[in-house]
Amino acid sequence: MEAFAVAVAVLAMIFITLGLGVWVFAGLLLVAVASLLCIAGFSVDRIGVIVKSIVWKSASTWELAAIPLFLWMGEIIFRSDISERLFRGLAPLVEWLPGRLLHTNVMGCTLFAAVSGSTSATTATVGKITTTALRERGYDSQLSLGSLAGAGSLGLLIPPSIIMIIYGVLAEVSIAKLFAAGVAPGLLVAAIFSTYIMVRCALRPELAPASGGRVTLPQLLRAVADLLPIGVLIVTVLGGIYSGIVTPSEAAAVGVFAAVVLTALLGRLSWAVLSESLMAAVRTSCMVCSILVSAAVLSTAIGYMHIPAGLTQGIAALELPPYALLFLVALLYIVLGLFLDGISIVVMSLPVTLPIIVQAGFDPVWFGVFLVLMVELGQVTPPVGFNLFVLQGITGASLSTVVYAALPFFLLMCLAVVLISVMPSIVLYLPSLLTQ
């Protein structure tokens, strides 16, 4: 139980530090140094040597190069008219489905997630177009907000995903396999959302008013043309990774080049777009990478205090069935999602949870997808659900309205977690086809 007491003490220090408003990277670094000094009993000189070596090692990891590049690609797309083309392209294709244009939220977020890697960018980019269009056409606002809140979180699951890159670096798992593992679960979540919309609108047709017109062949051809730019980006980035031609980091560079070329061909490229997108990507990248570096120091401190080994031995002594253990871990992540952002959840919890999960017999690639889904749940739960605040800013609706609208989609994501838990092949089939 000593390891458990130490883990509780470290977790309490983290919550207190972050609760005081200290920046996340500084808070994690302070807790790591304080733990080594006060709990492990290390000298100041030894702590300095540890911190310097860990900072250099974690900051110079090649895989991290993909993060600023994927973020830059997403920022360029965010400032182009690809989101407007996405809505125009999807609208004729979903007209025959119960729920009609409500599916543009789900399908639009699914497609945009495949070139973004960010849940807030996905929600904001798709939402700024669809929320206004659906409101003007008389669609149900609750279903519109809820579907966008839920589908916007797919930016974390469908590759390229920043969270998956972080998990891959920390867990020493192939990022290409993680990307492949996220495809089927991402499509599964999107299918569950669309099915729910169809059932609701079939029972209550007034939620999605009929447009009154039939889709013609020229409209379908224009729709395909509008979807072509985002299709090119998806094939360029993910096709290069899955074919083995490029690594994820190289694919990110190719993606930036493709985004610049497409934006230029669409007539939206300017110096302002390039400079603003680059600065936004730099700011976000500095935030993410600084948290990763400080988290690496904290992870090392936790290792020196033997917390993972002690907790693993203690939980193994309880002889819990694997799925009972997984249920407890899921509850832990739901609670953490109420207070912390996704990156903080991953970097704080992984040194403790990953050894326990692997010892219980779960595949680390599968656990990466499970963890991303748990982080997605945190995106739609108050008080720190980023998607909720993005939608509140876009629509002007109250936070309670957005939370109530997102609740059914929170439960549907929980259903997806159950499905991948009882059928892990949903996650592991595509990665098994990769050789790298």
DSSP for 129-184? HHHHHHHHTT--HHHHHHHHHHHHGGGTTSSS-HHHHHHHHHHT--HHHHHHHHHH
pLDDT tens digits, one per residue of 284-332: 778 777 777 777 777 778 777 776 666 666 666 677 788 988 998 888 8
Q: Spell out where 212-304 has E strands.
A: none
215 DSSP assignment: P
Q: Which residues contact 359 (CB under 8 A, 6 or more apart)?
A: 312, 316
Both structure tokens of 139: 């669609």
Q: Which residues contact 319 (CB under 8 A, 6 or more apart)?
A: none
Amino acid found at 234: I
Q: Is the peptide bond before 209 cis (omega within 30 degrees of 0)?
A: no
Tell me the CB-side half-sphere exposure of residue 367, using CA atoms within 13 A: 29
Q: What's the Cα-to-Cα distance from 200 to each of 153, 378, 409, rounded to whole Å?
A: 21, 25, 13
Across residues 15-28, what is the average pLDDT? 76
CA distance 195 to 349: 33
pLDDT tens digits, one per residue of 222-272: 888 888 888 888 888 888 877 778 877 788 888 889 889 888 888 888 888
> C-alpha angle with apex 118: 59 to 436, nearest 5 degrees?
60
pLDDT mean across residues, the chain: 82
Q: Which residues contact 331 (CB under 8 A, 6 or more apart)?
A: none
Both structure tokens of 265: 């061909």
Residue 346 near residue 170 (C-beta atoms within 8 A) = yes
422 DSSP assignment: H
Residue 174 near residue 146 (C-beta atoms within 8 A) = no
CA distance 241 to 248: 6
Q: What is the pLDDT of residue 299?
A: 72
Res. 58 pLDDT band, cuts 50 70 90: low
| Helix, strand, coil percentages in the chain from 3-state DSSP, rounded to 5 | 80, 0, 20
Res. 391 pLDDT band, cuts 50 70 90: confident
Q: Is the dihedral of CA 243, 244, 247, 248 positive or negative?
A: positive
> C-alpha angle with apex 179: 411 to 232, nearest 5 degrees?
105
pLDDT tens digits, one per residue of 149-170: 888 888 888 888 888 888 988 8
Both structure tokens of 377: 């749940």
CA distance 167 to 182: 13
Across residues 389-406, what is the average pLDDT? 81
